[in-house]
Structure 1
């Protein structure tokens, strides 16, 4: 039998391309056709804990982009139902120790992630560099910090910090974690030795509280937690928050 080596090579190349494409789709997940939070199975944490503290940075301009992010039409924390209930459990347990959560971000529409990527690729926009990434070139944010697909868009990831709440509860103060939220630097690594022992202890206290309810920390960002197992690990959403 005569083998057409060129045809064989082309066939193998095409097969490899298909396999790579399948792997990429598997890594990125599947975009849901849901158009509302209800269709996506997203729950507002305020329905479970009405007085939880929200500081939803991407609904305003106090963030590393410097303006409201696409898809954030309201300052709400939406999560998949099992995740929201687990977070409510964390809040209830912390309150026994005069502590509370402060939430920066929850579900993130896919269009918001695309906004981040566009911003990261705009080398001319350096307005927030001194506050958020003083030691990195903006291009270095793509990858470890800003990815084209975010776990936040699956509704099981949350960014947050701890508050000490003396009585009455209105006297809450945010605990010192050593860096601000979304500070892109090794100092923001959860176990960084570049922060004080007290600051690292505050981070670990947050991690312990979240871990007890099934949340896992992203070691490069002390504020970043993902619930495991994720309710929809291969599905992400682009429902606007409104």
Structure 2
């Protein structure tokens, strides 16, 4: 068998063989109950417009190392009357496959206005939607910040664009946002960096812990 083909087959097997939840993962909802959780892919409120494959429950599952770092980030925010808002953590490989089917279906444009108003659907491939996602390794998280008002309730900081808005305005250093919105993004980016996370410049909400071994891609359900 061609060596390159064999390597591709083994890599593909590595994605789909890992269907059991490994011991290095925890459920952040239990570890960090003071954070806010809005796990969109377990609902219809997302760019696909339906519950995504593999999201059985609206939970954030993530590696223990990344979870400990997020606890530390949230502690820093608590001193400012703020807290983390979590959108997505570990993402099963089957969910990524669901994204790929969606992006290749040109007839399905029902979420265009809300999620990619200025882009053609096919242009989402690569920068925004890939055949493999770092989320499937369990060290990547999508998140924002909420602040507590005088009444004691929380509201999301204005980041200049909504979560999962596929557009240049969602680039962390976008010139299209206000000074206050930029300061809010930098608050998130700097805190995450202080606790071991690297940002993704195209999406202000996307961070990966630097301990990510970048090897296995997992496929167990979120439940």
TM-score calculated relative to the size of structure 2: 0.93
Match of 1:225 in 2: 207
SS of corresponding position for 1:108: coil
Question: What is the CA deviation profile of residues 200-229 of structure 1, one whole-angstrom value per residue up to 9, with x for unaligned ones?
Answer: 111001001100100011000000000002
Match of 2:160 among 168, 178, 185: 178
Match of 1:31 in 2: 15
Question: What is the CA deviation profile of residues 69-93 of structure 1, one whole-angstrom value per residue up to 9, with x for unaligned ones?
Answer: 0000000000011111111111111
1:200 to 1:124, Cα distance in 2 relative to 1, 3 A? same
Residues 103 and 160 in structure 1, CA contact (< 8 A), matched pair in contact too? yes
Question: What is the CA deviation profile of residues 115-169 of structure 1, one whole-angstrom value per residue up to 9, with x for unaligned ones?
Answer: 000000000000000111011110001111100100000000000001112366x
Matches within 5 A, 1:68-147: 68-147=51-130
Deviation, 1:18, is: 2.6
Question: What is the CA deviation profile of residues 157-184 of structure 1, one whole-angstrom value per residue up to 9, with x for unaligned ones?
Answer: 000001112366x411100011110011
Structure 1, unpaired ranges of 5+: 1-13
Task: Say whether residues 1:148 and 2:131 are aligned partners.
Answer: yes
The more displaced of 204-213 and 42-51 is 42-51
TM-score calculated relative to the size of structure 1: 0.86
Task: Say whether residues 1:166 and 2:149 are aligned partners.
Answer: yes
Residues 104 and 160 in structure 1, CA contact (< 8 A), matched pair in contact too? yes
Structure 2, unpaired ranges of 5+: none
List 4+ stretches of structure 1 deviating above 2 A: 17-26, 28-37
CA distance in 1, matches of 2:13, 2:146: 35
Match of 1:44 in 2: 27
CA distance in 1, matches of 2:14, 2:160: 37
Deviation, 1:23, is: 7.6
1:25 to 1:223, Cα distance in 2 relative to 1, 3 A? farther
Match of 1:3 in 2: none
Give the count of matched residue pairs.
223
1:207 to 1:52, Cα distance in 2 relative to 1, 3 A? same
Residues 165 and 171 in structure 1, CA contact (< 8 A), matched pair in contact too? yes
